[in-house]
Chains A and B, each alone.
Chain A
Amino acid sequence: MSQAESTAETPAILSEVNPAVLPRATLVKNNRSFSWITEKICGIIEGKTPGWWWVCFGLAGFVASWTVGGIIYLVATGVGVWGHANPANWAWDIVNFVFWIGIGHAGTLISAILCLLRQKWRTSINRAAEAMTIFAVVCAGIFPVFHVGRVWFAWYLFPIPNSNYIWQNFRSPLEWDVFAVSTYGTVSVLFWYVGMIPDLAILRDRFYKAGNKTRSFLYGLFAMGWRGANRHWSNYEMAYLVLAGISTPLVLSVHTIVSFDFAVSLLPGWHTTIFPPYFVAGAIFSGFGMVLTLMLPLRSLYKLEDLITQYHIDCMCKITLATGTIVGYAYGMEFFIAWYSTNPYEGFAFINRAFGHYAWAYWIMISCNVITPQFFWFKKIRENTALVWILSIFVNVGMWFERFVIIVTSLARDFLPSSWGYYSPSIVEIFTFFGTFGVFSVLFLLFIRFLPIMPMAELKAVTPEADPHAGHDHH
């Protein structure tokens, strides 16, 4: 510290310069202790299943049966039960696939990228977000597998020995999808699981102490002998960091590969280089929308306001706003480039989106994706949880429509007007899609019932109690 010369009068320069203490948002309100956190999170699992859970589970199961039935009918009868036809050979199936995969990206961003960026606020939401990712990938995966005409040969997509000695076509984006999505699923599950090990150990020990040997055994199986030893912790931290490092590029690459399904083709409206960053931004946008949709009710139902604070909601809203603005910019840029290129097919594709047959879908997309997130500029709105929840639903509706507009309008009216047609979904398609929300809900409800919805270990690390300098005013 520099010492200025003391003079008789008040010196122009202060003798000691102390930077102002900027208040950091407390990530855990009300000074909750470690044990409070443990009790809160484990209490959800140890307690009796709440009535609302059963109701939701029953409903979710019923909705999930739509997908099961729809898929069985589809495979038994043929792709014709859906609404596809020339020229729209992809429609709701691929829209749904991209929709669900996109949603998953928020979880990975929260878990991995925010981890590497040392954003401590991620700790209360990352477990549930990562679970959301995995279940979204499951729902997404249904579509590329079952949309094919001959599902029983879907294994042709994988490079395993076959009697025809034919290799897969590695120039095809669909083949890249196979690797991207399977990698994404695998790494996400690994990351989620490895992160859960200390928490599963806590549950194992608690159940053991409470005398519930069966549950203790089951949790213990997955806890892999965790003793909380120093070596365990250091290995854990390293593994976590490595997995975070692996997952980070996946956030960008997986949806980039998915966007290549379109960008690599030659269709006007699909064949643009803006797709990778545009899709990734859109994915994160829709993912955060889904995180908000899931976490806000959970927060109220389980009284987790101290762990998921307004600061958390603020951060999520701001990321939603940022990515939503990027998406809005991408819409504008696409349109500009289509005009600037003077390519008649390209120009028509965009005019047609805004004013053609599917104009209604286009304007839903614009209002939900461009206008809705702009509300998050305002603090008053960010603090209104109910409003945030409603807006998050609009975000996802808008993102579904974005994929619909991209896929269906570009196919419906392409190069040769003689092939122009109109696509509309069939009942089977509609029910199969809405059923996937049931599948997702079933999995998510099982998750919140049986697994720790927040990483207790990481949360404890950000409570005031964990701060070694707690009590000092400055750091």
Chain B
Amino acid sequence: MAALAAKVTGNAAVGRLAKGLEFKDQEKWLDACAKDLSDHRGECLVVAGAHQSAQVHALAYAINAFLGNIGKTIDFVEVPESAAASLSDLSAAAKAGKLDTLVVLAGNPAYNAPADLDFSGIANAAKQVVRYGYYVDETSALADVHVSATHYLESWGDARTADGTVVPVQPMILPLFDGLTELEVVARLAGEADVDPYQTVLETVSGISSGSKSDETAFRKFLHDGLIENSGYKVVQVSYDQASVASLFVEAPTYKALSAENLEVRFTIDHKMDDGRYANNGWLQECPDPITKISWDNSILVSPRLGAALGIEPGGAAIQVARKELSEFKQGKENAFMAEVTVNGVTVKGPVHIQPGLSNWTVVLPLGYGRKVCGRVGQGTGFDFYPARTAANQEFATGASIKILAERFLLANQQEHWSMEGRDIVREANYLGEDGYQKNPNFVDSFGIESHAPANLGKDKDMPLADVASKTPRGNSLYETPDFTGVHQWGMSIDLNTCIGCNACVIACQAENNIPIVGKQQVMRGREMHWIRLDRYYSDGKADGGAFGGEGNKEIPEDPQASLMPVACMQCELAPCEVVCPVNATVHDEEGLNTMAYNRCIGTRYCANNCPYKVRRFNFFDWNDRPIDELYLGPIAEKGMPELVKMVKNPDVTVRMRGVMEKCTYCTQRIQQAKIAQKSKARDSANIIIPDGTIKVACQQACPVDAIEFGNIKDPESAVSKAKAREQDYALLGYLNVRPRTTYLGKLRNPNPKMPDYASLPLSRVEYNNKNYPAGHSFDQGHGDSHHEAEAHEDHEPEGHTSFMKNALRTGGLS
């Protein structure tokens, strides 16, 4: 940051703070970056991560101020200052014997407070410890009294969003178990004798909205809207004060170069467990980590370079037919090495996972696992790295070392292979450049077998989407194709540009469709039940196109590009699964859905074999009816779903028994509800078409970036039809002519051509070309025979073939 600040502001003094910074092509990178920023004053933004120090943040603001971004791309709001003391203050008070009664209202400090503050010592020092909490956890174990909390969905309350807007906390049901709501406890602590949470919230909201004591109208509006208008924090004008910033930099930072012996440790809260509070949540445990794809455990993340130095890279085969895995997979289970990381004088132990793209000498310790006092689900999951985290080093620490042990640990990794192997799965292009989107908006059409084979629809290839959806043209094929006669034809479009791979869709689908969890052992066997999955691919441009062996296949990518792709049942118009089911358990309905009749399914699993996308899930055991740790006991295991679990299930969706196949249904229950509602509204009129946007399927509803568009493709004005009309629309494995109703929008990248790590083509494209056009002839979009020419004359270098291939080769490998 300092180096960049120096470049941008032209202030060399600042640059002197950037000691020990060394990366490849450093000067060039800084120059190009600074120039790019300077060229876009008032339109750019520099942000420092929340874990960074005050100095780094100050430098970031310095750059923003210099570039005139303040007030344009960045606003500052006034946040009420917190008068609370810190945990360190509490620790000091405890040591001084000043603690009488300790009331812990939230969080789990016995588990996740900085280790050097020794919360158990604090608790012991107090005369009485009262814990108010939803779960019995590590802190409850230290407490004298545990007051049961209600869930927030069983309570009245209010909250502020990140920007300060006041939002309500409203109960959905009466408390299932006896407990006290947060307001009831806090209000009493504040001195109120009689507490009615509803009243309290009403008065607070009335005060904020209209300044009165009790404003029922305002309160009802508040509950209806879900917020109080303009109650957020106010934007304030700020200006950059060079002098006070300079006062932060009195001491030059000491810096020791990072290496395998002097590692940097980064503590991260886990994407799913947060600070550990969700350890007992089965859905979150089973949800794979968005990047590592590991579920039920955390692992120590190391870079490929460190992995190689430590000797934990998997062996690989003599003839490597596909890219080497990130780890040894023993019969589908990731066989991780156990390691000990010593940082801040504390040693913690855990399994190691090689993470491509991680900075060479940084080790990531995800927090939130290894809970000791936890419910049945969270027991024995993961490893606790909190002991290594001190108050002074809460986000990162240096001076760490790692030692690999002989012990191994099996991890439940839901995706074994990380490379697209040069296949046209995620189709990407750069925005600019020779083969970029600007010059060639139809870039997705130059990929795959469909790009040089006759069109699937043959003579009907220019038929509008709405007609294709209902008529399913044969395209000169002899095979009979069904006519879809429904008034709606459902389709979905997933935008790979916006998808961030957060897995919200996975959990939403699980919630909506009664998808069971299967437990770590079964996930290791590959039997997770998620109907939608996020595929995560790395591309480093090195995939070897050679058929046999291939040196390029033996490397683990150090600096790859990642591509994410949500995959659920594509509801293919010519579904391969429907052909092969012997009992007609999966058939097509008139509106284009590939339906699954659970009661007809006998479980031959032929449909799953024939699905090219592998989106079908089989109920290998009675996940719902038997405890998932007693599955192999068969009939002698406990039978029946506990009452609480039954209440979790969506009553509109069947709960499947064992032996039955299931898959994404485009939330057919939601579609049916909307159709019924529309028909009721229509009465005798023929107005039974559901207006666009009425139905939101579960994954679409949860997606924070609106990457999923769903609706009626028979209506050319619907959002999904418009998405499918875009040039980047393509079908995954389209050449198979299964005609999936879910299509994707190709991904765009927009790298700065002046940057030294610029790749003129996305790396997945480079790999695709290596694999399919090994002779490196000039790339021709929408070509026909030139491809075959290249195949026939493999050692013939065409005259004047573009430098794209040379360029790709040069920039494809980075370090």
Contacts and interface: CB of A to CB of B under 8 A. Distances in A.
Contacts of A422: 329, 331-332, 416
A434 interface: no
Given A76-B635, A150-B659, A414 B582 contact: no
Nearest to A345: B423
A54 to B, nearest CB: 35
Contact of B600 (A83, A156, A415, A424): A156
Contacts of B584: 166-169
B567 interface: yes
B602 A156 contact: yes
Contacts of A169: 578-584
Nearest to A79: B620
Given A84-B605, A149-B619, A150-B603, A166 B583 contact: yes
A344 interface: yes
B420 interface: yes
Interface string B601-634: 1111110111011100111111000000001111
A178 interface: yes
A149 B527 contact: no
B593 to A, nearest CB: 18
B132 to A, nearest CB: 42
Nearest to B518: A80
B77 interface: no
Interface string B405-437: 000000000011111111101000000000000
B321 A348 contact: yes
A151 to B, nearest CB: 8
Nearest to B536: A418
Contact of A73 (B449, B618, B634): B634
Contacts of B733: 415-416
Interface in B364-412: none
A266 B602 contact: no
B729 to A, nearest CB: 19
Contacts of A177: 582
B526 to A, nearest CB: 3
A417 to B, nearest CB: 4
Contacts, number: 217
A150 B565 CA distance: 33
Interface string A255-266: 000000100111
Given A156-B583, A421-B332, A148 B604 contact: yes
A174 B582 contact: yes
B801 interface: no
A93 B457 CA distance: 38
Contact of B610 (A83, A84, A265, A424): A265
Contacts of A175: 582-583
A263 to B, nearest CB: 12
A418 B604 contact: no
B583 A157 contact: yes
Interface in A58-100: 73, 76-81, 83-87, 89-90
Contacts of A76: 634-635
Contact of B620 (A78, A154, A414): A78
Contact of B605 (A90, A171, A424): A90
A420 B602 contact: no
Given A78-B620, A78-B658, A175-B582, A265 B609 contact: yes
B742 to A, nearest CB: 14
Interface string A128-164: 0000000000000000100111110110110000001
Nearest to A93: B605
A267 interface: yes
Given A79-B620, A148-B604, A417-B322, A344 B423 contact: yes
B38 interface: no
Contacts of B771: 344
Given A78-B634, A351-B548, A148 B603 contact: yes
B791 interface: yes
Interface in B321-341: 321-322, 329, 331-332
B632 A148 contact: no
Nearest to A178: B582
Contacts of A156: 583, 600, 602
Contacts of B528: 86
Contacts of B527: 80, 85-86
A183 to B, nearest CB: 16
Contacts of B421: 348, 417
Interface residues of B, number: 76
Given A78-B631, A168-B583, A344-B772, A149 B659 contact: yes
B608 A417 contact: no
Given A148-B603, A422-B329, A80 B614 contact: no
B286 to A, nearest CB: 14
Contacts of B322: 348, 352, 356, 413, 417
- Chain B CB within 10 A, most for which of A77, A86, A414: A86
B610 A266 contact: yes
A89 B526 contact: no
Interface in B760-807: 771-772, 791
A153 B527 CA distance: 23
A356 B323 CA distance: 11
A85 B425 CA distance: 23
A149 B535 contact: no
A172 interface: yes
Contacts of A343: 449
A458 to B, nearest CB: 39
A90 B658 CA distance: 17
Contacts of B661: 149
B422 A344 contact: yes
A173 interface: yes
A347 B771 CA distance: 12
Contacts of B449: 343
Given A266-B612, A422-B332, A172 B606 contact: yes
A342 interface: yes
B208 interface: no
Contacts of A167: 584
A414 B614 contact: yes
Interface string B555-599: 000000000010100000000101111111000000000000001
A355 B614 contact: no
A77 B659 contact: no
B609 A80 contact: no
Given A150-B659, A266-B736, A84 B620 contact: yes
Nearest to B791: A342
A338 B419 CA distance: 22
Given A81-B632, A147-B604, A169-B582, A415 B610 contact: no
A217 to B, nearest CB: 43
Nearest to A262: B609
Nearest to B605: A89
Given A85-B526, A175-B582, A150 B631 contact: no
Nearest to B576: A266
A166 to B, nearest CB: 5
A85 B609 contact: no
Contacts of A415: 423, 612-614, 733
A416 B620 contact: no
A273 interface: no
Contacts of A265: 576, 580, 606, 609-610
B613 A166 contact: no
Contacts of A352: 321-322
19 contacts: A73-B634, A77-B632, A78-B620, A78-B631, A87-B526, A147-B604, A153-B602, A166-B584, A169-B579, A172-B579, A178-B582, A264-B579, A356-B322, A417-B419, A417-B423, A418-B533, A418-B536, A422-B332, A424-B332
Given A169-B580, A351-B321, 15 more contacts: A77-B635, A78-B658, A80-B621, A85-B526, A90-B605, A344-B771, A415-B614, A415-B733, A416-B613, A416-B732, A417-B420, A417-B423, A418-B533, A418-B565, A421-B416
Q: Closest 6 CB pairs between A and B?
A: A149-B603, A149-B659, A77-B634, A80-B620, A85-B526, A418-B535
